[in-house]
Amino acid sequence: MRIAVIGTGYVGLVSGACFSDFGHHVVCVDQDEAKIEALHRGVMPIFEPGLDQLVGRNVRDGRLEFTTDLPSAVAEAEAIFIAVGTPSRRGDGHADLSYVYGATEEIAAALKRPAVVVTKSTVPVGTGDEVERIIRKTSPDAKAWVVSNPEFLREGAAIEDFKRPDRIVVGTEDAEAAEIMREVYRPLYLNKAPLLFTSRRTAELIKYAANAFLATKITFINEIADLCEVVGADVQDVSRGIGLDNRIGPKFLHAGPGYGGSCFPKDTLALLKTSEDYQAPLRIVEAVVSVNDTRKRAMGRKVIQALGGDARGKTVGLLGLTFKPNTDDMRDAPSISIVQALEDAGAKVRGYDPEGVEQARPLMPNVEFCATPYEAAKEADAVVIVTEWDVLRALNLDELRKTMRQPVLVDLRNVYPPQDAAEAGFRWYGIGKPGQNEVAA
């Protein structure tokens, strides 16, 4: 099949590369000339493990192209995926759909043959209706079906998620559109990925409901971690104990500094705005958003407490800055709130991250960025593990300790067993652990 993907951000680039790897001919479109030029040179605009090799292979084999010329890409396409950004609208939290509607107008004007127009971007309920209205108004004679096909890609594991999905959700009630979408995903037949057909509005809501539920699991276990600390329980054992229940499952039950990234923060806000518009309150989601915001700010106070309650004039090394490992995404990362709290308290902050430094620089202008974790820890009064990158899971704790001014390790991901840290001479502070959340050296 011939497919056009509008947008070469995270979702568009990964989707386009994977579709081409299935054997489809894919043209990815972006109005950013510099980004397209970089892609022609094999330079990826995002960090995602394996993406550069996947793109390079399919470009060489002639199945994947990049262009700024939307009309030419759309004219030949049987399926056109809209994968542009839908950030939170400044000031009110609604999803900003201006990029979606702008792309729709261009697509409608360029349609030359029957095609499905697929919203791959995360959009509020009813967006597909407006996309269809724009197409009908712009090109009344065009034969186009508007379909919702939300993405469920985890940053850092997006290629695997696309090729071996838990499910593929397709929102359409038109038989012809459904048949085209079956053909698009036919290469996944052998993987037996469930293909779930629903109404368009149902598909749009499934995406938001899924992300809100996962955000709720994260927030729930973070609050349980706080309770563990004061009652003398271990949150990791609690997580295992409840996660073994098949009705609950173990995923997203790892206590930490709160969720961030490109999806959960904006999607929970957008879902709340939809619930307000339709006067159907979502009290649980409201609480999740509020608790998570408080959680990230509280992590800065936790570090200050580990420093004896006074951070003025002290140096703190932050290890891991991105909101999760295997990505360079800094959007709503907990590290941003932690840095702000530490700097407000008079501390100097050094930071280390394997991939996120360039994204972090404009967000943390006063942070001194370091090339290694040990450099970030040099002469520091505390080291804080914020993101559980693999490179931070096997640090030489003895060597780390020797570089520091004070032996304080704040482990916001519970990467290291408390006793291991104590044996290396650290005062260890973790998440949801008994004993005043400290193991003395």
Indicate the burial class of 68 (C-beta count within 10 angstroms; 0-12, 13-18, 19 or more). Answer: middle
- Please state which architecture CATH assigns to domain 200-441: 3-Layer(aba) Sandwich (3.40)
Strand 2-6 and strand 79-82: the pairing is: parallel
- 18 labelled catalytic: no
Residue of 18, 28, 228, 263 marked active site: 263
Q: Do the domains 2-198 and 200-441 sit in the same CATH topology, yes or no? A: yes
Judge contact between 296 and 338, C-beta under 8 A: yes
3-state percent breakdown (helix, strand, coil) of the chain, nearest 5: 45, 15, 40
pLDDT in 10s for each residue of the chain, 441 residues: 999 999 999 999 999 999 999 999 999 999 999 999 999 999 999 999 999 999 999 999 999 999 999 999 999 999 999 999 999 987 788 899 999 999 999 999 999 999 999 999 999 999 999 999 999 999 999 999 999 999 999 999 999 999 999 999 999 999 999 999 999 999 997 777 889 999 999 999 999 999 999 999 999 999 999 999 999 999 999 999 999 999 999 999 999 999 999 899 999 999 999 999 999 999 999 999 999 999 999 999 999 999 999 999 999 999 999 999 999 999 999 999 999 999 999 999 999 999 999 999 999 999 999 999 999 999 999 999 999 999 999 999 999 999 999 999 999 999 999 999 999 999 999 999 987 544 444
Per domain, the residue ranges of the chain are 2-198, 200-441
The DSSP bridge pattern shows strands 438-439 and 427-429 to be: antiparallel
DSSP states of 183-209 as a string? HHTGGGGGGT--EEEE-HHHHHHHHHH
CATH of domain 2-198: 3.40.50.720
